[in-house]
Copies of this chain bind each other. A is one copy, B any other.
Amino acid sequence: MKLLELYAKMKGDLNQIEQELERSVSDDHALLSESSTHLLKAGGKRIRPVFVLLSGKFGEYKLDVIKQIAVPLELIHMASLVHDDVIDDAETRRGQPTVKAKWDNRIAMYTGDYIHGKALSIATRLPNPIIHQVLSKALVEMCIGEMEQIRDFFNTDQSIRNYLLRIRRKTALLIAISCELGAIAAGAERQVSNALYRFGYNVGMAFQIRDDLLDLYGTEKQIGKPPGSDMRQGNITLPVILALRDERIREPLLGEIASIRSREGRGDARRAIELIRGSKGGDLADAMANRYIAKSLQALEGLPNITAKKNLIDIAHFVGKRNY
């Protein structure tokens, strides 16, 4: 089944999540509601709620319960976007002005804090302390990931391990716990929720590697902005680390990165992208993404063959597909 068909099939439940998301941020304070709703209206794939809902099918699926997990996980993702945009000094996201651009950094900071708080406040309606523990620990890890990203900006000596640890915290963890908590909220056995955690973790790793590849190999139309925005910002991703290992390319690429750095965000990454595309960086990163996809599929092996399992496999294949 294609991903669009899956979304169509899940439309009823996803609409309810969407309504709940809107409701969750619209009842407190005019400016906070406005800034949060602005963010919500910009849309998104709602991939975390999709993972929560599908994982919930491995237990006793009650939408009224499951949505108390699906909504917080999307909110936590949204809050991290608002705070990211402050850090990245981003003016637009998904074609819309960012909260920091439409209002200012102060509003963006408290909007993020507020959405974080709301997320936890909704999740704590479910009286299972394990859920609260998993969520709050993930928040801590995500902050560490964000800090690592700042620390590693323009660090051309970072190891692959370094990169993997960072995207683990920045991306994979939230997808992993989306799967885990969906199952826990539905009362699935620990063994099941653990397997789904592993599935989500590996899909999340592949997802971020693919996203980083797209920024260097995609067209402007595919990405929605000129390629190389990670690089201009100083975010050294896997294909770059791998390209730097190529003797022929290392020195000129280091030169380009230093030049981009010296122009503080106004640099031109076109030459650097050419160099990377001329290396094996892309293929090697691609192979790593595929290995994570393979591991994600392995994680599902012991689970019952319900429709949701097929859907998760489809999503993994979709994430694994090279479309640039």
Contact = CB atoms under 8 A, between A and B. Distances in A.
Interface string A105-118: 11101101110111
Given A110-B147, A110-B150, A120-B120, 18 more contacts: A32-B143, A83-B109, A83-B113, A87-B106, A87-B110, A107-B147, A110-B146, A113-B113, A113-B116, A113-B143, A114-B144, A117-B137, A117-B139, A117-B143, A120-B136, A124-B129, A125-B133, A129-B129
Interface string A97-111: 000000001110110
A32 B144 contact: yes
A117 B105 contact: no
A31 interface: yes
A135 B123 CA distance: 12
B136 A124 contact: yes
10 contacts: A29-B148, A31-B147, A32-B147, A87-B110, A105-B105, A110-B143, A113-B139, A117-B139, A117-B143, A120-B139
A33 B211 CA distance: 30
Q: Looking at A29, A112, A117, which has the most chain B CB atoms within 10 Å of its CB?
A: A117
Contacts of A148: 29
Interface string A190-234: 000000000000000000000000000000000000000000000
Interface of A: 28-29, 31-32, 83, 86-87, 105-107, 109-110, 112-114, 116-118, 120-121, 123-129, 132-133, 135-137, 139-140, 142-144, 146-148, 150-151
A132 B124 contact: yes
Can you tell how many copies of this chain the complex includes?
A: 2
Contacts of A86: 105-106, 109
Contacts of A132: 120, 124, 129, 132
Contacts of A144: 28-29, 32, 114
Given A83-B113, A113-B83, A124-B132, A107 B150 contact: yes
A124 B133 contact: yes
Nearest to A128: B129
Nearest to A113: B143
A142 B8 CA distance: 39
Q: Which 10 residue pairs are nearest across A and B when measured between Cβ atoms?
A: A117-B139, A120-B136, A117-B140, A114-B143, A121-B136, A127-B129, A124-B133, A124-B132, A132-B132, A29-B144
A147 B29 contact: yes
Contacts of A139: 113, 116-117, 120-121
A118 B139 CA distance: 8
A114 B140 contact: yes
Contact of A87 (B87, B109, B117, B129): B109
A143 B31 CA distance: 12
A140 B125 contact: no
Contacts of A124: 129, 132-133, 136
Nearest to A120: B136
Contacts of A151: 31
A134 to B, nearest CB: 9
